[in-house]
Amino acid sequence: MITFKEIFGITFMLLVVFSFLSCEREEDNPQPQVIIIEKNNDQGSNSSSSDTQVQYYVKYEMSVEYERSDKKYDVSLTYTSDTGEKTIHTTITRSKYYSWDGTFGPFNKTQTVKFDCISTNDGWGTPLGSGKMHARIYVKQGNGPFAVKAEGESYEYQSGSFWVSSGVYLKYELE
């Protein structure tokens, strides 16, 4: 016959095991540090609220995938928002993949939007392994659907004994 002490001991051991299994180790799921720098130049402000004026919305999307996850990578994104130019700097550690997207607006017709994506390694001459970056600019007019208006891809590669960093530079004039 099972005693109260045995039941209590088995229950206690199961609780300990389940509590360890439900915990995440921080190094298994690293979160990149993100720094946002804003430059307010009011290019996207809409001074007239006329119903006849066409409004545009812009969605930016980027992803980068590296061959190695044992290195540190710095990613810098500069984009045009409805309040001006913004830059995001983030450091990726112990990860092979990073992605980002953002939607902004409204923008005025004939305004030019840009999206620059740059990836560098953790030190001069430190090989990153191969890497691929992909970026897109989507635009929609009013309540319409988003459509791809600019797209680019960049590969990191080795040139002699040096590794060349990845970068995608996109620009689109709203029309």
Residue 66 counted as domain residue: yes
Residue 87 counted as domain residue: yes
In the chain, the number of structural domains is 1
State residue 4's pLDDT score: 72
**Residue 98: other Cβ atoms inside 10 A:** 18
Residue 116 counted as domain residue: yes
Residue 16 counted as domain residue: no
State residue 139's pLDDT score: 95
Residue 111 counted as domain residue: yes
Task: Tell me 125's DSSP state.
Answer: T
Task: Tell me 70's DSSP state.
Answer: S
Please write the tens of the pLDDT for every residue from 100-120. Answer: 999 999 998 888 999 998 887
State residue 67's pLDDT score: 74
In what side-by-side order are the strands of the sheet with 97-107? 97-107, 56-66, 131-141, 147-159, 162-164
d(CA 65, CA 132): 5
State residue 164's pLDDT score: 58
Residue 6 counted as domain residue: no
Q: Which of 143, 133, 134, 83 is nearest to 113 (CA)?
A: 83
Residue 149 counted as domain residue: yes
pTM exceeds 0.85 for this model = no
Residue 25 counted as domain residue: no
- 37, 42, 112, 82 alpha-carbon torsion, rounded to 10°: 70
With a cut of 50, which residues of the chain have pLDDT below it?
26-27, 29, 43-51, 124-128
State residue 166's pLDDT score: 65
Range of the domain at 104: 31-42+52-173
State residue 74's pLDDT score: 80
Q: Contact at 8 Å (CB) between 35 and 86?
A: no
Q: Contact at 8 Å (CB) between 90 and 128?
A: no
